[in-house]
Homo-oligomer: A and B are copies of this chain.
Amino acid sequence: MAKKILLKDIAEEVGVSIALVSYVLNNKKTDKINPNTSKKILETARKKKYVPNRIAQSLKASKTFTIGLIVADISNFFYSYIARHIEEEANRYNYNVLYGSAYEDPERFRKILQVMLSRQVDGLILAIPDGAEDCIPELKRMKLPFVVIDRQFPQYKNYMRVSLDNYNASRKVMEMFISKGACRPGAIGLKTNLSHLQERKQGFTETARKFLPANSIFSYEVNESRMETEMAELVKKAVLQDRVDALCFFTNKIAMAGLPHLLKHKIKIPERLQVICFDETNAYNLFPYPLVYVKQPLEEMSKLAVRCLIDENQKAKTGVYKFDGELISL
């Protein structure tokens, strides 16, 4: 590293104190500074390409202008899209984003969280994995602002969260299935305790029960870690054995794993099988049959999450936001 230009260097060159340089560059005390001195300082700073050391500033101010973002997996479209909008909104407030992927591993999550705390982030946006939810009371005790996205943990109250209204979204899914004549609807979810996925399942099943007998409603679950291998069997069971005539994939990852098998079995969509997927991705455009998907307003949700941390007006509010999913037909 070449020597960096410090306030000291500018001060020496101009022949004034470091403090004065700082005042000028920060536009403080402007009324009491000799315009000539001011001009000289400004010029020298530009000439030497002075870049303030944010680390020193952060230490002094006890504020880093950094938001920590922990997602499950940044290479998952769902989270990378969120990350994009979080960064955009954060930038608007001159904040930056430090990010980490926990891969649904609570231990990893805790470790990343610890690192973010040690780096003095001003706030956190978290997709908490199953088993790491005890960070919620802990963070509250520390009074560090945080927002939980995507997920929620009903055992804890009074924490900020931004998520889809999952129950209602699933209800809409089922209602569309029914309205188009489904008699044996099914859904594929994840083996997990995460309540947002439980809610999707509940909304789906409970709505179905209003219209159909219990033995013609189907529900399947795959292991997050063995999705690729289990999916082949599961789709076969659902479509060929249980003969479901409507199938919902509860996450985009499940959809991406499941849809190819529908292709393989040459299932006619939507005549033989209606399909609805959660989450939006342009990958669906490569699928040769009409798909329906649940669009989450990710951009708004992401931006709101950032504002919950940064914006004083927003902060004041209660901080529990549920967004409506929208069914989009391709």
Task: Please give the residue numbers on chain A whose beta carbons come within 8 Å of chain B beta carbons, in ascending order.
Answer: 1-2, 51-56, 58-59, 64, 66, 73-77, 80-81, 83-84, 87-88, 91, 96-101, 114-115, 117-120, 141-144, 256, 259-260, 263, 281-288
Contacts and interface: CB of A to CB of B under 8 A. Distances in A.
Q: Which of A58, A66, A76, A100 has most chain B Cβ within 10 Å?
A: A58
Contacts of A96: 98, 100, 115, 119
Contact of A286 (B52, B83, B117, B287): B287
Contacts of A76: 80
A55 B59 contact: yes
Number of copies: 2
A132 to B, nearest CB: 17
A288 B285 contact: no
A319 B230 CA distance: 42
A303 to B, nearest CB: 14
Given A118-B54, A282-B283, A98 B101 contact: no
A144 B75 contact: no
8 contacts: A51-B114, A66-B98, A75-B83, A75-B84, A256-B286, A283-B283, A283-B286, A288-B288
Contact of A64 (B55, B117, B286): B55
Contact of A118 (B52, B73, B259, B287): B52
Contacts of A143: 1-2
Contacts of A114: 51
Contacts of A119: 54-55, 96
A74 B55 contact: no
Contacts of A53: 59, 118, 120
Contacts of A81: 75
A87 B103 CA distance: 12
B97 A99 contact: yes
Nearest to A116: B96
Contacts of A66: 98
B55 A142 contact: no
In this complex, the member of A53, A55, A100, A101 whose beta carbon has the largest number of chain B beta carbons within 10 angstroms is A55
B283 A263 contact: no
A178 B73 CA distance: 39
Contacts of A64: 55
Nearest to A83: B74
Contact of A98 (B55, B84, B97, B144): B97
Contacts of A52: 118
Contact of A144 (B1, B84, B88, B288): B1
